[in-house]
């Protein structure tokens, strides 16, 4: 029998890791077989390095300071936590090069975020009325292609991650094809971004996200937007958009 505590702990480590990976495999299989869009729950303490085995899973992480986590910690964010809007580029949104100024994409992000809340039955104005504010504390954008005047842009807002105090939204902006009849035409990816929001009170002090707001963030859209294709092609008869170079 080994009497050295350090050596004994080292000998037990492989067994513990094996048990943890076995438990992780069980939860991963359970998550894959859960009904689509359901609130699937994973025990994060069992996953460890095996989280990467669950493709595309967006997990809600809890605090690491010993505080009691909310009931949302451990939940996989469902695929229905997404909202899409359309924005047509105006003249004032472009710069001297004739492309959308980089700062205006942040405004598109905000419109998408506000619509995300509105379509789930709680306008952000109502949240502020309760003395709760969610300022931006981090912003990341990767620009890939420019947008021009009169382009119609698809702004996709997705719930990305939650902690006890913060919410992250992930964004994708694409330019749909000019006409729906173009064979094999795919929307052009223009940029990807993320915004991290912190929950604070009226004195700008950090506070926990209320459980009812967390529940709302996890809901599907209660009032889905209009048919996006009709918004995209209706201004131009026959589905054809004007030549971008001829726009004044």
Tens digits of per-residue pLDDT, 52-105?
333 444 545 554 444 444 555 557 899 999 999 999 999 999 999 999 999 999
What confidence tens digit (pLDDT) does each residue in 132-188 have? 999 999 999 999 999 999 999 999 999 999 999 999 999 999 999 876 655 667 899
**CA–CA distances in Å: residue 151 to residues 111, 118, 207, 244:** 17, 25, 40, 8
Give yes or no: 126 in active site.
Answer: no
pLDDT of residue 185: 78
Q: What token pair was written down for 138?
A: 């981090």
pLDDT for residue 43 is more than 50: no
CATH fold for the domain made of 79-241: Thiol Ester Dehydrase; Chain A (3.10.129)
In the chain, the percentage of residues whose pLDDT exceeds 70 is: 57
Of the residues 79, 95, 201, 212, only one is catalytic, namely: 95
| Residue 167: strand pairing partners | 162, 197
Give 147: exposed, middle or buried? Use CB within 10 Å, 0-12, 13-18, 19+. buried
pLDDT for 247 beyond 80: no
Confidence of residue 32 (pLDDT cuts 50, 70, 90): very low
Q: What share of the chain is helix, strand, coil (3-state, %, to 5)?
A: 35, 25, 45
What residue spans define the domains of the chain? Answer: 1-57, 79-241
């Amino acid at each position: 029998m080994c009497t050295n505590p350090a050596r004994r702990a080292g000998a037990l480590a492989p067994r513990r890791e094996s048990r943890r990976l076995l438990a992780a495999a069980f939860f991963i299989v359970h998550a894959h077989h859960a009904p689509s869009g359901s609130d699937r729950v994973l025990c994060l303490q069992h996953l460890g390095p095996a989280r990467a085995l669950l493709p595309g899973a967006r997990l809600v992480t809890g605090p690491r300071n010993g505080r009691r986590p909310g009931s949302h910690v451990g939940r996989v964010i469902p695929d229905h936590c997404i909202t899409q809007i359309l924005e047509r580029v105006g003249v004032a949104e472009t710069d001297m090069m004739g492309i959308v100024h980089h700062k205006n994409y942040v405004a598109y992000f905000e419109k998408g975020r506000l619509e995300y809340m509105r379509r789930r039955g709680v306008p952000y104005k109502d949240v502020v009325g309760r003395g709760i504010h969610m300022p931006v504390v981090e912003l990341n954008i990767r620009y890939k292609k420019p947008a021009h005047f009169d382009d119609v842009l698809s702004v996709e807002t997705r719930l990305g991650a939650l902690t006890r105090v913060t919410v992250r939204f992930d964004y994708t902006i694409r330019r749909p094809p000019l006409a729906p009849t173009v064979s094999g035409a795919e929307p052009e990816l223009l940029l990807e971004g993320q915004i991290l929001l912190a929950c604070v009170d009226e004195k700008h002090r950090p506070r926990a996200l209320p459980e009812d707001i967390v529940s709302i963030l996890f809901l599907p859209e209660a009032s889905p937007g209009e048919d996006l294709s009709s918004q995209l092609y209706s201004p131009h008869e026959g589905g054809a958009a004007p030549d971008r170079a001829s726009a004044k």
